Amino acid sequence: MVTEIAASGDGFLFQQDIHKWRAGRKTLVQHFAPAVMKSKNVLLQEAESVQLLYEFLHQPEGFMNYPMRYTTSVMTLYGLRCGTYRDPIIQEVEESMRMFSELLVPGGKPPVEVFPLLNYLPAFISPWKDKCKRLAKRVDILYGDLVDIGVQRGMKGLNSDNLAYKLRLGKESTGLTHHQEAFICGVALEGGTDIVAGVILTCLLALISHPEAQKRAHEELDAICNEETLPRWEDEQGLPFVRAIFCSAWAIHMNAERYEEPELFKPERFLSHSMSMAESIAQGDPFKRDHFAFGAGRRVCPGIQKAEQDIFIALSRLLWAFDFCAPAGVSISTDFSTAFVGEGIRMPKKFPLVVTPRSQKRVQTIEHAMHLAEETFSQYGRYNPTSPLG
């Protein structure tokens, strides 16, 4: 109900209209197809990951923010990138997600999904409806602005492979309205940014709590990449332990019959899985799946290949570049009930982290790579809001 009101009936994630859902999902599946992600998107991911390293190197105290900038910049939705964490796209997405989360907390709204008649209570005794409407206004402006920018850039021959432009080109066959196009892109933006950023931060939290796993990852990386060579997506199959670090979720993954000692951080449990996440889903046998972090069935995340590349490239390069540890004498909690925050989408609470470059040569490699990445960055635009979003 919250999603329906906030998206004016056009929210894609919980879309009830099967025709709208099929039209939107078809475009998303084509846009985020593994072949496309491996051939085209990987170049942008590798460039943006260099800035991620540069940020960790020069201002490590802001590490909690940098994964969100990275994951937002590698979205190929509008032909835009975010140069800093203070970029208005990031700030608006985070504020919208905060407002949405407030409506999901116990007591944030009445149980209208269970008792639909409660939806007909007057507004003066249903303050949650006003919150939904304020959220709807905010995302209407943001997503509407962004989809228009994407279409305009595509028409000018700039980043013509962006999702907004593809949706507009297919409008005659799909029948999607401007509002529906905006929210299809919007749900991809929401799903591909803070969720993936949260995975990266959770991996860092786990690694400083389990230094033996970090040491093993360093050894694996050093066997493939020297101090002048950043890990690349093509190295993924040669780095099985690094891949295994981020294979984790709750519920199904806490089944002791499927995962031995499920409460422990044990990346090695996934070493027998050599397929990518997208390939693991495509093979069809749920008992052969590596994990279920990106869903299952007909509504499995269409951007799973992109998400895997985002996480692997960021994590492998961070581990190649730095040693991570907690400050001396500081105890780090990884307890799910106390060390994380959020409703639905869980993120680590801010935790202390010491970031140390592994060598001066690696620092020089990062500096040089950042200079080269500027050419890729110059191909993308920046977002300047045309309307007040508040």
Residue 347 structure tokens: 């993120």
Cα gap 259→269, rounded to integer Å: 7
Q: What is the chain's Cα-based Rg? A: 21
Burial of 91 per CB tally in 10 Å (0-12, 13-18, 19+): middle
Cα separation of 14 and 292, whole Å? Answer: 19
Token readout for 266 is 């044990």
- Residue 121's identity, in one-letter code, is L
In angstroms, the CA 54 to CA 49 distance is 9
Q: What one-character-per-residue DSSP string does 268-318 give?
A: GGGTT--S-HHHHHHT--GGG-S--TT--GGGS-TTHHHHHHHHHHHHHHH
Q: What is the DSSP string of 19-48?
A: HHHHHHHHHHHHHT-HHHIIIIIHHHHHHH
Residues 6+ apart with CB under 8 A from 360: none
**Which residues is 381 bridged to in the sheet?**
80
Residue 301 is assigned to a ligand binding site: yes
What's the distance, CA 120 to chain centroid?
36
Gap between the Cα atoms of 194 and 136, Å rounded: 19
Sequence ranges of the binding site: 301
Which residues make up each annotated binding site for heme? Answer: 301
